[in-house]
Structure 1
Amino acid sequence: MKEHKGVSALLRAAEYEKRCAIGDGGRLSDALQRRVHTREIVSPYPNLFASAQYWTSLTPEDQSLHCIRALAQLHPQWVFAGLSATCIYGYQHAYSLHDGSISIASTGGLTHRDFKQLRRIYMNTIPSWQCNGIFVTSPARTLIDCATLPFERAIAIYDSALRAKHVSKTDIDTLRLQTRCDEQAVKRLLLHANPLRENGGGSWVYARIIRLGYAEPLFQVEFENPDNASLPYRVDFCWKLADGRIIVAEYDGMAKYADTSNPNRANMQAKLEYERQRERRIKAQGVTTIVHLFFEQVANLNQLDAKLADAGVPKIR
């Protein structure tokens, strides 16, 4: 289809601001809709548009944020909540949680004017904060609403919020007592949430380990790095057993390449050698077993169970 200068300018301006373009309700909107039909442009939410090529280059989280930023312009009174607020705060979470919907806080229910992608989370009083110029529910309220997500997904959001020091467990628990919510889910998440887990992947692996009934691991245990004392080796999960055994589990089998004393880190062969050396040195400090966990193995509970059992990790139930 022939280039439309108005459409091109609108899309460029929106991309620069990292949001979706907004239709004007007139001829420009008609031109945008024609290009939606030819698949040059996508419309992820009514009256919001983006170049198809640009849209597919974005992660699911960034796609949600592009919609949120545009909707915040259209509806400056909206207070974003749930997973939408999680995106605005930058809390780590699984991309699989994104289904194209947008969540806002509301003191009322759905209206006949609501689009199907809009989800209203009911609350008597909306604890409104601002983050990056957008109104959102408070961190504590956001986490309480995210407790409705599966535990294995919600735990990463809790860990991330605690790691960012936006909220404390006491803040969340206090609000839990004042809020109509899934109290058991919130209490379980607070019991297991830990800011020492460095990323969402580690939080997910932890939740799978706990689901299988294994003993609680230690996190980010440090071992001496003889090449660089200021950058000790840190492991993802560690069990120190009463019989003297020390078991280490690393997610994805990736060594921690933060040691800048190795000038050839960019070379894959050097990375592999670095990992082997790292393991030798960790084992020399009393570690008896190191088990590497890959995504596919963690996703399959039977495989994960077999890996941990073979490593000697004890079960408590």
Structure 2
Amino acid sequence: MIPANTSTLSMVSNAEQERTCIRPVTNAQKQYLKRRVKNGTFVRTFRNLYAQTEYWQKLYTSERIRHVAISLMDLYPDWKFTVTSGAALLGYDVVEDYDTLFVGSKYNSQNTNLQTLPTQIYIRSKTNKSTHDNPQLHRISATGKEQDATSDDVRIVQPSRKYDGQLITLPHLSDGVSYEIRSHIVDKSTLLFDAANSLSFRAALPIFDSAARDNVNFNKVLEICGRRYGGGDGVGVVSVGFNGAVGNGFVYSDVAGFGSNADPIFRLRRLCLFKNGLSENGGESFARGTMIDLGFMVPELQHEFVAPNSRVKYRCDFLWRVSGGGLIVGELDGYDKYFVDSTNSTHVNINFNSSSDTQMLRNSYNQTAINRNIDRQAERESVLFRECGVSKIVRFNFADVVGVKNLERKLVEAGVPRIMCVG
């Protein structure tokens, strides 16, 4: 047992209560935490940042990013967080870019623990990338054209039905994020541009779907980014300097998925085209992005069936309407929903994007409730087949999506049309 003094224990407790990482100050604290990392009870989350292993492994990706980013704000006040880091701070859905993490190797759902993946941090910075940088840190060169997330330049303005066509400005859900935190994030246009050009398409799509739910005006995003990061005419012409640096702050060779002839504005435009605010979570967005990358027909989202006999409504994650009138339903299977006990008042308004909520569900394990949910699921499928004209239901889990091949096989076997050749 490695002894710890009261100040160290207090530091650990305070960090977890404040949802940040542990940042040791004294040499004694640093040595204590390094020893604890060696024996496996603590993990190093970033350079000079730590967390208890058990606590850290329960957190979701977006929660880990927020822990690290908020901890870094005081250390580096000039950093402006972008891509997944900025998105997580805004409360957007974030999924790991597995295509980058597993580049050159195959993802194995049996042998890969997704909970141990290092947290990646993205910033716009005036300082160039250094060999001394933490490998988890991704710098995108600041151009001086960026603003911060307190900017209001991508709001949707539309006529109000309630007030005789009077123009109203739709609010951003992310307005609830504190001004202090938003001042450490790039503006939404830059964040979306950076996400489009730093992540694979399927990893970026959850951020764009979140922005759609956040009432972001994508026409303004394209206009602003074309003007800032495209050519002088704002239509996406990219100028490359002698050092290979693009005028928008990117270096082609350093950006995942960038080819020498890639057009950064095109990548942004493609994501703006496919974004859909009906996507309920990052997993569904990531799955849909994978389907699009594989060339499958783009599914409808959250379609609601009404059973003719009972008038009960059943909603599905994905729906494909195929030739001949066939209906194929797709479901991204998660386990946590089966733990919800409709007779338990604490299970009302569960946030499945919150690790503490889902942990509470699992801790209140009730086999009767689980069996009841399984029976309801079976009855739901029976009604969809019997009364709603559904011809196939294809189920897949998140590991299927990450690994791609299982998802592809299941969609092909279910008869989901492929509308584009890939590979």
* TM-score interval, normalised by the smaller of the two chains: 0.7 to 0.9
Whole-Å Cα distance in 2 between the matches of residues 215 and 236 of structure 1?
Answer: 15
CA 266–89 in structure 1, closer or farther in 2 if over 3 Å, else same: farther
Where does residue 142 of structure 2 map in the other structure? 123
Mapped contact 1:289–1:311 kept (Cα < 8 A): yes
Whole-Å Cα distance in 1 between the matches of residues 58 and 411 of structure 2?
Answer: 37
CA 119–296 in structure 1, closer or farther in 2 if over 3 Å, else same: closer
Mapped contact 2:341–2:369 kept (Cα < 8 A): no
Residue 68 (structure 1) aligned with residue 118 (structure 2) = no
Measured against aligned partners, the alpha-carbon deviations of 1:86-115 in whole angstroms (never above 9, x if no partner) come to: 221122222466633432221342368755
Residue 267 (structure 1) aligned with residue 369 (structure 2) = yes
Where does residue 173 of structure 1 map in the other structure? 222
Q: What amino acid sits opposite 2:328 in the alignment?
A: I
> Superposed, which structure 2 residues align to 1:77-92 within 5 Å?
77-92=78-93
Mapped contact 2:297–2:419 kept (Cα < 8 A): yes
1:80 positional shift: 1.5
Mapped contact 1:255–1:275 kept (Cα < 8 A): no
RMSD of the TM alignment (CA)?
3.5
Aligned match for 2:194, one of 136, 141, 145: 145
Where does residue 324 of structure 2 map in the other structure? 243
Q: What amino acid sits opposite 1:107 in the alignment?
A: K
1:140 positional shift: 2.3
Counterpart of 2:330 in 1: which secondary structure?
strand
Whole-Å Cα distance in 2 between the matches of residues 105 and 122 of structure 1?
Answer: 6
1:260 positional shift: 5.9
1:227 positional shift: 9.4
1:170 positional shift: 1.5
Counterpart of 1:128 in 2: which secondary structure?
coil
Where does residue 15 of structure 2 map in the other structure? 14
Mapped contact 1:233–1:256 kept (Cα < 8 A): no
Instruction: Give % identity.
Output: 30
Greater relative CO, 1 or 2 (CA 8 Å, sep 6+): 2
Residue 106 (structure 1) aligned with residue 159 (structure 2) = no
Whole-Å Cα distance in 1 between the matches of residues 46 and 397 of structure 2?
Answer: 36
1:7 positional shift: 1.3
Where does residue 160 of structure 1 map in the other structure? 210
Where does residue 58 of structure 1 map in the other structure? 59
Aligned residues: 315
Where does residue 314 of structure 2 map in the other structure? 233
Whole-Å Cα distance in 2 between the matches of residues 153 and 75 of structure 1?
Answer: 27
Residue 221 (structure 1) aligned with residue 303 (structure 2) = yes
Whole-Å Cα distance in 2 between the matches of residues 173 and 142 of structure 1?
Answer: 12
The runs of 5 or more residues in structure 1 that have no matched partner are none
Where does residue 254 of structure 2 map in the other structure? none
CA 161–265 in structure 1, closer or farther in 2 if over 3 Å, else same: farther
Whole-Å Cα distance in 2 between the matches of residues 308 and 252 of structure 1?
Answer: 14
Whole-Å Cα distance in 2 between the matches of residues 255 and 76 of structure 1?
Answer: 38
CA 228–29 in structure 1, closer or farther in 2 if over 3 Å, else same: farther
Measured against aligned partners, the alpha-carbon deviations of 1:25-49 in whole angstroms (never above 9, x if no partner) come to: 5554455555555555444333333
Q: What amino acid sits opposite 1:218 in the alignment?
A: E
Where does residue 252 of structure 1 map in the other structure? 333
Measured against aligned partners, the alpha-carbon deviations of 1:241-272 in whole angstroms (never above 9, x if no partner) come to: 342222222222889889969x9996233222
Mapped contact 1:234–1:256 kept (Cα < 8 A): no
Counterpart of 2:301 in 1: which secondary structure?
strand
1:234 positional shift: 0.9
CA 246–176 in structure 1, closer or farther in 2 if over 3 Å, else same: same
Whole-Å Cα distance in 2 between the matches of residues 315 and 116 of structure 1?
Answer: 38
